[in-house]
Chain A
Amino acid sequence: MQIIKPEEVLSEYHPPLTDHEAVVEANRCLYCYDAPCTHACPTHIDIPRFIKKIATGNLVGSARTILESNLMGATCARVCPVEELCEGACVLGAEHKPIMIGRLQRYATDYVYEHGIDVFKPGAPTGKKVAVIGAGPAGLTCAGELAKLGHSVTVFEKRELPNGLSTYGIIVLREPVEVALAEAEMVRRLGVEIKTQMELGRNLSWEEVRNNFDAVFLSVGLGSVPQLGIPGEELIVDGLSYIETSKMNPQALQVGREVVVIGAGNTAVDCATIAKRLGAERVTMVYRRTDKEMTAYPHEYEFAKKEGIEFRFLTQPVEVLHEGGKITGLKCVRMQLGAPDASGRPAPEPVPGSEFVLPCDQVVKAIGQEKPAVAKLLGLETEKGFIKVNHEFETSLPGVYAGGDCIRAKGSASTVMAVQDGKLAAFAIHRRLVAGLEAAAD
């Protein structure tokens, strides 16, 4: 029998670039002016500049250029959908291969983390205090940027470890846990206090936060995977927990022989990949619409197919079949596309009498996440269930800002978007606090 070692089959997919590879690739970059890759990057990293610095052997300067625009540059180097962003816009893409921007970014940021080099220092103290709720990429970025500007920042995180989905929600194949934790440590070394296992409404009161801080940034992400509302649902595994276990305690992850993953987003692909790599004989993703509507990026879809994952489109689960607490199959119904629904996409409708059973012994669901509960807790205005913010990332409560997945009413949720929110919110908070300081000085 083949013994599967999770640390091997789930280890980071791309090897790091060698020094030679990095320099050759960096020298291939044209050093465009006002480059489209920089425009396409949500955090607008000056990409030609950081690549030029790799070409000249100035790796600390390169990493600083990246991290100046994006404090979570090491994560983004790994998890960004570069095909849709920087690399997709590379001028060399039309006729040749675009520059491997993501992997070069990883090369530069890895260098400073591996060598223990801090490229930023905390700013001169302003005496202002900011609370950040949630230590994910948006929260850590906001905290780090504020610390660079001299503000005293405390981050409250409900979980044991910081850096949110980078730590818990991205499969090791794409990003090892150590990278996410190194980023959080870098923010900590900027003077930010990160208090973990502190949850708003549980052991952290909102009054305490409001009374003790000059501004608040909410970066609480989203909730758990929503209910499907089908019989036998209690036997379905939550996709995010599935990924979390694969990272934190892979030996403990129970993987079925025949696994069905419900959903067709990037998280669903990740769950299917884990199952396949950890020994499932057959992994099937079921999605009620077609491949045209699925939210997984095209390159993720291609990756999944190469991993041997099967897809059943226009398929809706209706019941989990089980015997004695053990799953025996997923009963589904065939769907057809009807008139466009509220999302503008054709609405899937069941085909009467088309029920069939997908035999399986494990069902994982990755169909998105619940809207942030904290909005209701704090009485914030919402937009489609997400926290509503103005152009300055300020919520309906003055002095309370928000960013990251919890405000993502439009656009796609991604780490790099969360980072940009955190950064812009930090600047907005800074402007507010500095205005206060100047008023006090007058």
Chain B
Amino acid sequence: MADLSINFAGIKSPNPFWLASAPPTNSGAQIHRAFEYGWGGAVWKTIGAPVLNVSNRYGAWHYGGQKMLAINNVELISDRPLEVNLREIRDVKRHWPDRAVIVSAMVESTPEAWRDIILKIEDTGADGIELNYGCPHGMSERGMGSAVGQVPEYCQQITQWVMDVAKIPVIVKLTPNVASVVPPARAALAAGANALSLINTINSIIGIDLDTLEITPSIGGKGGHGGYAGPAVKPIALNLLSSLGVDPVVKQSGVPISGMGGISTWRDAAEFLLLGATSLQVCTAVMHYGYRIIEDLTDGLNAWMDAKGFKTIADVVGKSLPRISDFKDFDLSFRAVARINPDKCIQCNLCYVACNDTAHQCIDLVDASGNRVQPYSYDVRSNGKHEAVSTRPQPVVREDDCVGCRLCHNVCPVDGCIEMVELPSGRPSITWDELTKARPELATDWEAMKRYREEVGIEIH
């Protein structure tokens, strides 16, 4: 059994799974229940300035019969009185000394307001504070949330006010609604933040009701942008996480990063850890299925770590970061081609149509005698399962023409049927950076590029 416990900037937790600051962490009763299920920690739903919430609040995006690939929401920070939240935070922490209790906060941008809330949070016995610089809706209109997170100077200034007061670890939660998440992160670190977390929700309009033509969700006929979250945002979150992981300033600082954005399963969790997250925050998956999912999150992660020989979470964190590269550093001579395993192929022809219509036209349909045939070439008078099945052609890759785009592999519904196979290209390894340093004209002159291709034997079909 691997050791799943973490020490995150001094905040200890028996496993890396925290509930993110959101509806699942709205009250003491909820967090008590979550901790009974085994969650390692919780970031209390943001407390701060007085608000009133609206209904409806959550929109959802369903696709292909799958519910809630993403949600968006226009729910604001906690609308429960500050004193009630503080009392419940204190109560939860007293009952669960081994779990991480972190309080998310957001107040108006004055030193006094921040000083006041920090002191109140610390008084509860909470383990840490998360500064919500992310909410893209509602609060940003009042100069809070992403209105702060989008401007590095504000990030630094407000973090500085907090760090002047705070005695417990401070995590700065970053907004993805920026061109690059690195400048706000650096600004937070410059002010002395103890940790970073990302991503907050992404600005979005989740959809339109085709019956009423209203924006979803409709608040009395009106709607607008809201924060986007859930499985669909995971690739964006991973990218932003890695952009911090490879940033020399962030790396140098050594601060831990709490990763979130579409974590639904232990597999997602492992990917976030491999790209540099030390703690993991979960929200939408819990909103979909409840706190009980913690069981497989820890169990699955544990089993995977055991299988891979990882003893502790620290062994996993950042393991894949060294593989993050830029295009200019990719080997231009690396060659992979698709190969279809005829024994596994069920002849759905999805690879064929994808390649033929939209990729590089290098898959043929081949009949039992090895002849290339056209689709839909059967006689209209033929019928019956025996004929349909027995005369069905097999998709076959013309490897010489395959550029290794991997589209067929991606669309194939059968696991392990289409593999990308590495083949020798016959050319020495070279990157774009190396190539254009040696021969700068290749980057600007198509004729020079043509000569180079002929020289090394690259044929583009």
Q: What sequence of 0s and 1s flags, for each residue 345-366 of chain B, a beta carbon within 8 Å of any chain A beta carbon?
A: 0111110110000000000010
Binds B, one of A38-46, A121-129, A284-292: A38-46
In the complex, A27→B387 CA distance in Å?
Answer: 26
In the complex, A408→B7 CA distance in Å?
Answer: 80
User: Is A228 positioned at the interface, with any CB of B under 8 Å from its CB?
Assistant: no
Binds A, one of B184-192, B194-202, B374-382: B374-382
Q: Of the candidates B347, B384, B391, B413, which one forms a contact with A84 in the assembled complex, judged by CB atoms under 8 Å apart? A: B384
In the complex, A88→B384 CA distance in Å?
Answer: 8
User: Is A24 positioned at the interface, with any CB of B under 8 Å from its CB?
Assistant: yes
Q: What sequence of 0s and 1s flags, for each residue 87-110 of chain A, a beta carbon within 8 Å of any chain B beta carbon?
A: 011011011000000000000000
User: Is B225 positioned at the interface, with any CB of A under 8 Å from its CB?
Assistant: no
In the complex, chain A residues whose CB is within 8 Å of the CB of B424: none
Binds B, one of A29-37, A317-325, A379-387: A29-37
A-B contact pairs, 13 of them (CB 8 A): A27-B64, A32-B347, A33-B350, A33-B375, A35-B349, A39-B392, A40-B385, A44-B380, A84-B384, A84-B385, A89-B389, A95-B346, A417-B383
| Min distance, Cβ A14 to any Cβ of chain B, angstroms | 20
Q: Is the CB of B387 within 8 A of A40?
A: yes
In the complex, chain B residues whose CB is within 8 Å of the CB of A35: 348-349
In the complex, A88→B380 CA distance in Å?
Answer: 18
In the complex, A23→B353 CA distance in Å?
Answer: 24
| Min distance, Cβ B367 to any Cβ of chain A, angstroms | 13
Given A30-B350, A36-B392, list of 15 further CB < 8 A pairs? A33-B349, A33-B350, A33-B375, A34-B349, A35-B348, A36-B388, A39-B378, A39-B382, A39-B387, A39-B391, A40-B384, A42-B384, A89-B389, A92-B346, A417-B383
In the complex, A95→B384 CA distance in Å?
Answer: 20
User: Is A200 positioned at the interface, with any CB of B under 8 Å from its CB?
Assistant: no
Q: Is the CB of B388 within 8 A of A39?
A: yes
Count the B residues whose beta carbon is within 8 Å of the partner chain — how many? Answer: 25
| Min distance, Cβ B174 to any Cβ of chain A, angstroms | 36
In the complex, chain A residues whose CB is within 8 Å of the CB of B387: 39-40
Also in contact, A36 and B389, with CB within 8 A (given A27-B64, A94-B346): yes
Q: Is the CB of B349 within 8 A of A39?
A: no
In the complex, chain A residues whose CB is within 8 Å of the CB of B375: 33-34
Task: Name A1-30 residues within 8 Å CB distance of B.
Answer: 23-24, 26-27, 30
| Min distance, Cβ A95 to any Cβ of chain B, angstroms | 8
Chain B residues with CB under 8 Å of chain A are: 64-65, 346-350, 352-353, 365, 375-376, 378, 380-385, 387-389, 391-392, 413
Q: What sequence of 0s and 1s flags, for each residue 28-71 of chain A, a beta carbon within 8 Å of any chain B beta carbon?
A: 00111111110111101000000000010000000000000000
Also in contact, A55 and B65, with CB within 8 A (given A30-B348, A33-B352, A36-B347): yes
**Chain B residue with Cβ nearest A31:** B350
Q: Is the CB of A42 within 8 A of B383?
A: yes
Q: Is the CB of B65 within 8 A of A23?
A: yes
Q: Is the CB of B383 within 8 A of A40?
A: yes
In the complex, A115→B380 CA distance in Å?
Answer: 32
In the complex, chain A residues whose CB is within 8 Å of the CB of B65: 23-24, 26-27, 55
In the complex, chain A residues whose CB is within 8 Å of the CB of B391: 39
| Min distance, Cβ A24 to any Cβ of chain B, angstroms | 6
In the complex, chain B residues whose CB is within 8 Å of the CB of A85: 383-385
A-B contact count (CB 8 A): 74
In the complex, chain A residues whose CB is within 8 Å of the CB of B392: 36, 39
The 10 closest A-B pairs by CB, nearest first: A88-B385, A27-B65, A40-B388, A34-B375, A33-B353, A39-B388, A33-B349, A42-B383, A89-B388, A91-B346
Q: What sequence of 0s and 1s flags, for each residue 74-88 of chain A, a beta carbon within 8 Å of any chain B beta carbon?
A: 000000000111101
Chain A residues with CB under 8 Å of chain B are: 23-24, 26-27, 30-37, 39-42, 44, 55, 83-86, 88-89, 91-92, 94-95, 417, 420, 424
In the complex, chain B residues whose CB is within 8 Å of the CB of A83: 385
| Min distance, Cβ A44 to any Cβ of chain B, angstroms | 6
In the complex, chain A residues whose CB is within 8 Å of the CB of B376: 34
In the complex, chain B residues whose CB is within 8 Å of the CB of A84: 384-385
In the complex, A392→B360 CA distance in Å?
Answer: 41
**Chain A residue with Cβ nearest B353:** A33
In the complex, chain B residues whose CB is within 8 Å of the CB of A89: 385, 388-389
In the complex, A420→B347 CA distance in Å?
Answer: 26
In the complex, A95→B414 CA distance in Å?
Answer: 11
Also in contact, A91 and B380, with CB within 8 A (given A34-B375, A39-B387, A40-B388): no
In the complex, A322→B380 CA distance in Å?
Answer: 52
In the complex, A424→B380 CA distance in Å?
Answer: 10
In the complex, chain A residues whose CB is within 8 Å of the CB of B413: 30
In the complex, chain A residues whose CB is within 8 Å of the CB of B365: 34
**Chain B residue with Cβ nearest A32:** B348
In the complex, A31→B353 CA distance in Å?
Answer: 11
In the complex, A34→B395 CA distance in Å?
Answer: 12
**Chain A residue with Cβ nearest B345:** A91
| Min distance, Cβ B126 to any Cβ of chain A, angstroms | 44
In the complex, A95→B346 CA distance in Å?
Answer: 9
**Chain A residue with Cβ nearest B348:** A32
In the complex, A31→B376 CA distance in Å?
Answer: 15
**Chain A residue with Cβ nearest B375:** A34
In the complex, A32→B346 CA distance in Å?
Answer: 10
Most B CB within 10 A of own CB, among A84, A85, A91, A92:
A91
In the complex, A85→B392 CA distance in Å?
Answer: 14
In the complex, A424→B383 CA distance in Å?
Answer: 14
In the complex, A89→B386 CA distance in Å?
Answer: 8
| Min distance, Cβ B64 to any Cβ of chain A, angstroms | 5
**Chain B residue with Cβ nearest A86:** B385
In the complex, chain B residues whose CB is within 8 Å of the CB of A40: 383-385, 387-389
In the complex, A23→B65 CA distance in Å?
Answer: 7
**Chain B residue with Cβ nearest A36:** B388
Q: Is the CB of A32 within 8 A of B350?
A: yes
**Chain B residue with Cβ nearest A90:** B385
In the complex, chain B residues whose CB is within 8 Å of the CB of A417: 383
In the complex, A427→B349 CA distance in Å?
Answer: 30
| Min distance, Cβ B232 to any Cβ of chain A, angstroms | 17
In the complex, A55→B63 CA distance in Å?
Answer: 10
| Min distance, Cβ B409 to any Cβ of chain A, angstroms | 16
In the complex, chain A residues whose CB is within 8 Å of the CB of B378: 39
In the complex, chain B residues whose CB is within 8 Å of the CB of A24: 65
| Min distance, Cβ B418 to any Cβ of chain A, angstroms | 14
| Min distance, Cβ B388 to any Cβ of chain A, angstroms | 4
In the complex, chain B residues whose CB is within 8 Å of the CB of A42: 383-384
In the complex, chain A residues whose CB is within 8 Å of the CB of B64: 27, 55
| Min distance, Cβ A78 to any Cβ of chain B, angstroms | 18
Also in contact, A91 and B348, with CB within 8 A (given A23-B65, A40-B383): yes
Most A CB within 10 A of own CB, among B65, B365, B413:
B65
**Chain A residue with Cβ nearest B64:** A27
In the complex, chain B residues whose CB is within 8 Å of the CB of A95: 346
In the complex, chain B residues whose CB is within 8 Å of the CB of A31: 350
**Chain B residue with Cβ nearest A37:** B388
| Min distance, Cβ A32 to any Cβ of chain B, angstroms | 4
